[in-house]
Structure 1
């Protein structure tokens, strides 16, 4: 296999009527990387080149986030199901066939949804601190779900300082080196009316995870479940619970917060690549 890991191409595809911006690199089995809420494909920036030495890696910005189109909620039903169906369109547009999916936070929830509803498309799953059970509430989520005043405050008053505080206090472990340039880039992408409206609709959709929990028995793909021991939003006990409830899951805990791909990128890329290279979820 030729080494094209360093050649990262950017392109747009149409997914459920929305323009989706994505990057891809590498050759081999297809691996889709799915970011979380208030984030973008940049969350994979440190691990994408490493994974692309083994796989054809595709990292999209979900509709409403990053550099993808941000349709109004009246036109796009932000939430697990809509995002999963958009990714089905991405897979079809790129002619990928059967894929593996690695999802972080909300992206893990989307990956689970896709695996449950389109089992024939999914080879393996890597779930990174996914939102499956109710998370510990944070200021932004509480604001988004407040009636009347909440939407106004979220869309008009949530500035860079609040955004930075959310990532510092809820995403990264206390002893992590915070990639402030990336966080500020996320804020710049978020800081537009259409993006804020999309983020608000998404946060509200994440409030009720019961439909996702009901789908868990339908997930048959071999799964690597990765958790940060110091995740302050989704306690590590939730990972242990999910590992029990999934049919074929392996559970690994890293010494970091909510974002192993950013906090421990080398260790994360190594274990993810090793798992994805095995057959049937067991060592080849």
Structure 2
């Protein structure tokens, strides 16, 4: 298997998928709150963290991500038990695609990509990423030293986190380094985000959106039910684009509820 992953905890399997330019450690803040109740699998997406680059093919990069993650969840699922999946940003998009195809028992998406209002809205997001990368590359080798200063660290992290002060220094350095080196920004995430057709029976879906998300603003959530009419929608107050660090307790509770009994989750969708 070409994807690097960790497994911890006991209970139903919950696969956690990070966003673009991030890595599996993005979930560290919520892990202690999940592992008493779930067998948690955190994975580095292709081309991220310690995983191998995305396999080359003639397909859209977003389709290739779905294929590799589908293969992955089949590998890590327990016998005769589909995994639950949750993802943030790009990981949320992939999680929802797997749910649409019936590959998982449930899906929880935190500020998922794929619900842009139009091409200009998507272009704005890509411009934000490329602008942050330019800043990170300007810092260059001085980044570890510069990020010790709150005057540099806080604005560098603010697009992702509502509470940058909660991000450990080591994580901040790794995030900035990933911005400078990760190839996914230019590999096709400005391509159209297209969800597969829904399969029957419908897989329970929860979509939670931070009210302080600056990367994928909450107004994009109005498009969710056009694709997933059965989705349970949650507005999460006071958190940003990567909400796990902003409010671990609240996000863990959403992840546990979303991966609870699938039939009950579907019945409770509004």
TM-score normalised by structure 2 residue count: 0.78
Q: Which residue, out of 189, 194, 218, partners 1:211?
A: 194
Alpha carbons of structure 1 residues 216 and 253: separation in structure 2 relative to 1, 3 Å: farther
8 Å Cα contact 1:140-1:166 kept in structure 2: no
Q: Which residue, out of 113, 124, 134, partners 2:106?
A: 124
- 1:184 is aligned to 173
Q: Which residue, out of 216, 220, 226, partners 1:234?
A: 216
Question: Unmatched 5+ residue regions in structure 2?
Answer: 117-121
Task: Note the C-alpha offset of 1:258.
Answer: 0.8
Question: Unmatched 5+ residue regions in structure 1?
Answer: 1-13, 145-149
Tell me, in whole angstroms, the C-alpha distance in 2 between the residues paired with 1:44 and 1:138.
23
1:54 maps onto 2:43 in alignment: no
1:1-284 mapped onto 2 (5 Å cutoff): 14=1, 19-70=2-53, 74=56, 79-96=61-78, 97-116=81-100, 118-119=101-102, 121-134=103-116, 135=122, 136-137=124-125, 139=127, 141-142=129-130, 159=140, 160=143, 168-173=157-162, 177-188=166-177, 195-196=181-182, 198-202=183-187, 205-212=188-195, 215=196, 217-218=198-199, 220-243=202-225, 245-254=227-236, 255-280=238-263, 281=265, 282=267
| Bigger share in strand | 1
8 Å Cα contact 2:107-2:206 kept in structure 1: yes
Alignment partner of 2:254: what SS? Answer: helix
RMSD: 3.3
Task: Note the C-alpha offset of 1:81.
Answer: 1.7
Alignment partner of 1:170: what SS? Answer: coil
Higher relative contact order (CA 8 A, sep 6+): 2
8 Å Cα contact 2:204-2:262 kept in structure 1: no
